[in-house]
């Protein structure tokens, strides 16, 4: 009854509640946020005629027992939750405050449908799929919630901080679970998006996620403006540069286009091209991607997985196979074969098929797809010895190889152009990369197959010139080659008498020790079997090294038999060789119409 102790206590409690609410409003000004769902609220989602903004969420009496005077019900909605092959935490159905937040944001319950019907606003409006606050019941495209975040989880996932070090702004619930309220304060929009702390330069993201070498990477430091971007507008964040956008340059914590890893777009390349089409980053990748020979990045969507292993993964190529967006940076490598900064932090595989979480050398990245039995490339030239496993071709035990892993075995290579020496090691990308000097570096695309930096003609009867064998002449001095300083009859074979291409005799990678000996596999000799044919006796085509600049061939070339044809620097002159091989056959002349 009025005036009773019970009534006076209720009035006092209500006064304290209202005083607390007034103090909170003074600090956070809820009425000025989109959580003011009354008719006077600033947002587009509101209930006409409603005047009490607290009733939508709270009631002083007969409240939902699982919340702080919560005035929302729980209809037991089933949610599809975030999942990923690399996720180690157990994400179940939303619990606690997250489930209460979802009672509005999943769009299944009307905003005025409250737990205490006697303390309810009027109206039946819902949050709909067209509203920015709509999450729906499919949470696979949203940051995971309601999972135990403890020291044990941080120990398993090395790039998560121990929750004991989290600031008070990022509070877990009493059960040590991460909830919506860890990142969002429904009463304050001080930092935008109802965040509990500022997320400028992804400060909030980095509070939990400690990424190796992120602070050294380009995406953490680039001051490039996002304004010129043509493919994305980053309309869900406030940022003007790549550095300010940071994690959210590529990721969205809610309503992500790519559910795995919460990428902004489903196709991996669509997350890279908004900047790397030349509008934000300085180099335009799109031009190289449309060239005759390229890594077909647009062909694959969502196949790359951080936990994949080269020997079991499906064939694919995506940007993340060669670049780690968290650690990639500009700069130069200390020298071949060391990995370049643009590919820092990328996984790799050794020549003996050992997986490396982080490749040390550039070729180890290439080996993920181009080594082992699951290679993705067919040979450009049909050779006597076929081997598409490039790790076999470059192995240090081989009789000959281009020096990708270690320095070469041949100490006498007079044609090398300085600073290259017989002790030098080179990169895969010294041969396989963009053919445009002004374009992006790396093997994105080229006019020349197979993804070569310069032209390399493999057709028979090619007239020698500096451009047709430009790939070879990029490292080997043309004048030296034609002066026969390496092989006594280079000029004869390349010149107008024979017109044989470099590829008729040489394979560009190497000869495996499994299929060749130190004599038969020397000097990268592995004949194009459509040019070098067996002798009439069935012998050949084969080659044997007999010493420095000396050897012997058994084959038929241009209809001329070379039966144990030997050469050495002093054994024959070019004139004697011309006489020995007589007149080589020329390509048939095109028939003339009579």
- Residue 302: pLDDT band by 50, 70, 90 thresholds? confident
When pLDDT is averaged across residues 165-171 and rounded to a whole number, the result is 95
When pLDDT is averaged across residues 210-234 and rounded to a whole number, the result is 94
Task: Give every CB contact of residue 388 below 8 A, 6+ residues apart in sequence.
Answer: 370, 375, 377, 378, 379
When pLDDT is averaged across residues 15-24 and rounded to a whole number, the result is 40
The parent domain of residue 179 ranges over: 29-209
Q: Please identify, among 282, 307, 327, the residue that sits at the C-terminal boundary of a domain.
A: 282
* One domain, residues 226 and 185: no
- Structural domain total, the chain: 2
Q: Please identify, among 176, 209, 242, the residue that sits at the C-terminal boundary of a domain.
A: 209
Share of the chain above pLDDT 70, in %: 91
- pLDDT at 197 exceeding the cut of 70: yes
Q: In whole angstroms, what is the distance from residue 403 CA to residue 462 CA?
A: 27
| Residue 398 and residue 521 in contact, taking contact as beta carbons nearer than 8 Å | yes
* One domain, residues 144 and 245: no
Write the pLDDT tens digit of every residue in 244-278.
999 999 999 999 999 889 999 999 999 999 999 99
Q: How far is CA 372 from CA 300, 317, 384, in A?
A: 21, 16, 20
- Residue 49: pLDDT band by 50, 70, 90 thresholds? confident
Residues in the chain: 594
pTM equals 0.87
Q: In whole angstroms, what is the distance from residue 68 CA to residue 60 CA?
A: 10
pLDDT value at position 376?
66
Write the pLDDT tens digit of every residue in 20-38.
443 443 356 899 999 999 9
* One domain, residues 271 and 180: no
- Residue 17: pLDDT band by 50, 70, 90 thresholds? very low
* One domain, residues 204 and 215: no
* One domain, residues 136 and 270: no
| Domain-located, residue 364 | no
- pLDDT at 373 exceeding the cut of 60: yes
* One domain, residues 202 and 219: no
- Residue 343: pLDDT band by 50, 70, 90 thresholds? very high
pLDDT value at position 372?
84
Q: In whole angstroms, what is the distance from residue 487 CA to residue 259 CA?
A: 58
Half-sphere exposure at residue 478, Cβ-oriented, CA atoms within 13 angstroms: 13
| Domain-located, residue 448 | no
pLDDT value at position 24?
41
pLDDT value at position 122?
79
- Residue 377: pLDDT band by 50, 70, 90 thresholds? low
| Domain-located, residue 231 | yes
CA dihedral 370, 374, 377, 380 (to 10 degrees): 100
* One domain, residues 61 and 186: yes
* One domain, residues 72 and 218: no
* One domain, residues 272 and 130: no
- pLDDT at 88 exceeding the cut of 60: yes
- The DSSP H or E segment spanning 482 is helix 478-482
Share of the chain above pLDDT 90, in %: 74
| Domain-located, residue 544 | no
| Domain-located, residue 345 | no
**Mean per-residue pLDDT of the chain:** 89
pLDDT value at position 121?
83
| Domain-located, residue 482 | no
pLDDT value at position 46?
87
pLDDT value at position 6?
37
pLDDT value at position 14?
35
pLDDT value at position 170?
96
pLDDT value at position 589?
47
* One domain, residues 148 and 59: yes
pLDDT value at position 1?
41
| Domain-located, residue 447 | no
Query: Which parts of 157-302 fold into alpha helices (H)?
Result: 180-183, 203-208, 218-221, 242-245, 268-276, 285-289
Q: In whole angstroms, what is the distance from residue 544 CA to residue 226 CA?
A: 60
When pLDDT is averaged across residues 77-93 and rounded to a whole number, the result is 93
In terms of C-beta density within 10 A (0-12 exposed, 13-18 middle, 19 or more buried), how is residue 528 classed? buried
Residue 184 or 130, more confident? 184
CA 505 to chain centre: 37
Write the pLDDT tens digit of every residue in 499-532.
999 999 999 999 999 999 999 999 999 999 999 9
* One domain, residues 200 and 254: no
- Residue 340: pLDDT band by 50, 70, 90 thresholds? very high
When pLDDT is averaged across residues 429-440 and rounded to a whole number, the result is 93
Q: Please identify, among 193, 209, 225, the residue that sits at the C-terminal boundary of a domain.
A: 209
- pLDDT at 461 exceeding the cut of 50: yes
* One domain, residues 201 and 221: no
| Domain-located, residue 257 | yes
When pLDDT is averaged across residues 473-487 and rounded to a whole number, the result is 96
| Residue 456 and residue 448 in contact, taking contact as beta carbons nearer than 8 Å | yes
């Amino acid at each position: 009854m009025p005036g009773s102790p019970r009534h006076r206590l209720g009035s006092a409690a209500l006064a304290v509640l209202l005083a607390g609410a007034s103090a909170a409003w003074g600090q956070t000004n809820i009425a000025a946020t989109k959580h003011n769902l009354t008719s006077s609220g600033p947002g587009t989602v509101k209930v006409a005629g409603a005047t009490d903004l607290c009733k939508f969420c709270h009631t002083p009496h007969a409240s939902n027992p699982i919340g702080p005077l919560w005035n929302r019900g729980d209809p037991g909605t089933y949610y599809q939750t975030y999942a990923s092959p690399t996720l180690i935490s157990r994400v179940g159905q939303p619990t606690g405050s997250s489930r209460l937040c979802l009672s509005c944001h999943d769009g299944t319950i009307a905003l005025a449908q409250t737990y205490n019907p006697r303390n309810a606003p009027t109206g039946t409006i819902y949050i709909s799929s067209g509203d920015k606050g709509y999450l729906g019941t499919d949470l696979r495209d949203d940051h995971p919630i309601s999972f135990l975040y403890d020291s044990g989880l941080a120990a398993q996932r090395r790039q998560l901080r121990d929750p004991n070090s989290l600031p008070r702004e990022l509070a877990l619930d009493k059960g040590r679970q991460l909830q919506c309220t860890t990142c969002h304060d429904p009463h304050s929009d001080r930092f935008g998006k109802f965040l509990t702390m500022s997320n400028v330069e992804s400060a909030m993201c980095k509070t939990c996620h400690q990424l190796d070498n992120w602070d050294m990477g380009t995406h953490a430091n680039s001051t490039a403006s996002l304004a010129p971007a043509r493919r994305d507008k980053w309309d869900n964040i406030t940022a003007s540069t790549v550095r300010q956008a940071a994690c959210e340059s590529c990721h969205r914590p809610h309503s992500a286009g790519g559910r795995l890893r919460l990428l902004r777009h489903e196709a991996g390349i669509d997350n890279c091209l908004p900047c790397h089409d030349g509008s934000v980053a300085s180099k335009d990748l799109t031009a190289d991607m449309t060239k005759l020979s390229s890594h077909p990045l647009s062909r694959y969507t969502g196949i790359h997985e951080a936990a994949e292993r080269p020997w079991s993964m499906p064939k694919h190529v995506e940007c993340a196979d060669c670049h780690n967006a968290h650690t990639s940076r500009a700069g130069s490598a200390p020298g071949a074969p060391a990995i370049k900064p643009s590919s820092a932090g990328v996984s790799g595989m050794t020549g003996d098929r050992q997986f490396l979480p982080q490749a040390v050398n550039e070729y180890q990245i290439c080996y993920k797809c181009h080594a082992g039995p699951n290679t993705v490339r067919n040979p450009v030239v049909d050779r006597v010895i076929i081997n598409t496993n490039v790790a076999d071709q470059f192995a240090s035990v081989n009789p000959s190889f281009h020096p990708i892993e270690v320095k070469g075995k041949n100490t006498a290579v007079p044609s090398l152009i300085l600073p290259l020496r017989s002790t030098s090691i080179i990169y895969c990308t010294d041969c396989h990369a963009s053919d445009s000097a002004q374009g992006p570096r790396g093997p994105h695309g080229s006019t020349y197959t197979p993804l070569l930096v310069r032209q390399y003609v493999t057709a028979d009867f090619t007239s020698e010139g500096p451009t047709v064998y430009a790939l070879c002449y990029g490292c080997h001095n043309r004048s030296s080659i034609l002066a026969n300083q390496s092989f006594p009859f280079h000029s004869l074979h390349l010149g107008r008498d024979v017109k044989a291409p470099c590829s008729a005799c040489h394979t560009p990678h190497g000869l495996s020790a499994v299929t060749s000996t130190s004599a038969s596999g020397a000097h990268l000799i592995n004949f194009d079997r459509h040019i070098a044919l067996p002798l009439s006796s069935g012998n050949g085509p084969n080659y044997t090294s007999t010493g420095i600049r000396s050897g012997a061939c058994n084959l038929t070339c241009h209809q001329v038999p070379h039966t144990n044809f030997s050469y050495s620097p002093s054994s024959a002159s070019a004139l004697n060789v011309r006489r020995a091989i007589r007149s080589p056959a020329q390509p048939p002349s095109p028939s003339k119409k009579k």
